[in-house]
């Protein structure tokens, strides 16, 4: 396996130009995650693996057991002059036969790359957040092409808070959600957003829309999303910054916990437990 990863990484660095790949009929892969930089803790593999396997599951790609076709997600660093760059690369490596002599060779049949500059090498949280954004972006492109190449239905998307609420089964009226929470014996989870808030959209897409997160939310809470710009929310739940998430006791409407700003998926899952 060490040899396989080294080969994948060394071959990929030789490819400087972007190429076109086809993702038809890939039903099974052997997922590999390798962090080959000391700038990121090895324990972060768990988070990356969870994101990768969730994407493959949504696409109907089998990841159980071993398969000679490897889908490798590599994280490593390089330098652009004196600037440290963190690179994320997604590669499919598999055994192929040459057309002329039938000889078996190892080749790359898919490759994509993301990278970002590190401004503070000691800011581990920002580096991990950058890696998570890169992983989400690179897997989203892979999934989009896979659906397109295999003529699958596109992933459901939403426009605005109403669309998000309908897709994820969130309430959009506070009193309706409160009565439902009292009836079911659950507490409320209020997500407060604004119209022009990129971090709100990022939180919805990268965290709340994930199957694991959505399941955990609905198990313990009656979730609702309200837009601060529309002024249709109780005055006690206001904030200068968005997104802000209130966990509210449905019996007396007291705030049990408040989270301001974007939370990474792993961090938010911990809060839900």
Concatenating the DSSP letter of every residue in 231-258 gives: T-S-TTS--SSS-EEEEE-TTT--EEEE
pLDDT on residue 5: 54
**Would you say 231 and 96 are in contact if contact means Cβ atoms under 8 Å apart?**
no
**Distance between alpha carbon 168 and the CA centroid of its chain, in Å?**
16
pLDDT on residue 238: 81
Q: What are phi and psi of 194, to 5 degrees?
A: -135, 165
Span 92-100, mean pLDDT?
90
Q: What are phi and psi of 259, to 5 degrees?
A: -120, 120
* Neighbouring-strand partners of residue 95: 106
Report the SS3 class of residue 38.
Answer: coil
Rounded to whole angstroms, the Cα distance separating 103 from 83 reads 42
pLDDT on residue 9: 54
Average confidence score pLDDT of the chain: 87
Rounded to whole angstroms, the Cα distance separating 50 from 65 reads 16
What fold characterizes domain 160-272? Answer: Glutaredoxin (3.40.30)
Rounded to a whole number, what is the distance in angstroms from the first to the last CA of the chain?
A: 35
Cis peptide before 196 (omega within 30 of 0): no
Residue 162, both tokens: 């109403």
C-alpha distances in angstroms, 81 versus 30, 38, 84, 85? 35, 19, 8, 10
Q: Which comes out higher in pLDDT, residue 267 or 86?
A: 86
Residue 33 is given by DSSP the state E
Residue 235, both tokens: 């005055």
Q: Which comes out higher in pLDDT, residue 177 or 1?
A: 177
Q: Is the pTM of this model over 0.95?
A: no
- Domain coordinates of the chain in residue numbers? 2-149, 160-272
Rounded to whole angstroms, the Cα distance separating 40 from 97 reads 37
pLDDT on residue 6: 55
**Would you say 200 and 243 are in contact if contact means Cβ atoms under 8 Å apart?**
yes
Residue 267, both tokens: 């961090």
């Amino acid at each position: 396996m060490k040899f396989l990863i080294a080969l994948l990484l060394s071959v990929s660095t030789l490819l400087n130009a972007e190429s076109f790949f086809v993702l038809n009929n890939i039903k099974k892969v052997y997922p590999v995650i390798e962090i080959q930089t000391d700038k990121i803790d090895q324990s972060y593999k768990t988070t990356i693996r969870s994101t990768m396997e969730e994407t493959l599951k949504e696409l109907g790609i089998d990841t159980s057991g071993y398969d000679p076709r490897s889908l490798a997600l590599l994280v490593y660093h390089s330098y652009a002059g004196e600037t440290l760059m963190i690179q994320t690369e997604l590669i499919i490596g598999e055994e192929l036969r040459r057309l002329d002599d039938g000889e078996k060779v190892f080749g790359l049949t898919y490759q994509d790359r993301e990278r970002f500059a590190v401004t503070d090498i000691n800011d581990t949280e920002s580096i991990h957040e950058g890696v998570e954004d890169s992983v989400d972006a690179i897997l989203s492109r892979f999934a989009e092409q896979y659906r397109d190449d295999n003529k699958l239905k596109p992933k459901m998307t939403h426009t605005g808070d109403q669309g998000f609420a309908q897709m994820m089964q969130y309430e959009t009226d506070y009193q309706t959600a409160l009565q439902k929470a009292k009836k079911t014996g659950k507490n409320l989870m209020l997500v407060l957003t604004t119209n022009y808030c990129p971090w709100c959209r990022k939180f919805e897409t990268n965290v709340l829309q994930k199957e694991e997160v959505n399941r955990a939310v609905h198990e313990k809470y009656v979730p609702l999303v309200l837009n601060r710009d529309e002024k249709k929310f109780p005055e006690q739940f206001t904030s200068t910054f968005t997104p802000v998430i209130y966990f509210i006791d449905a019996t007396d409407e007291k705030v049990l916990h408040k989270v301001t700003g974007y939370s990474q998926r792993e961090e938010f899952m911990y809060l839900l437990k």
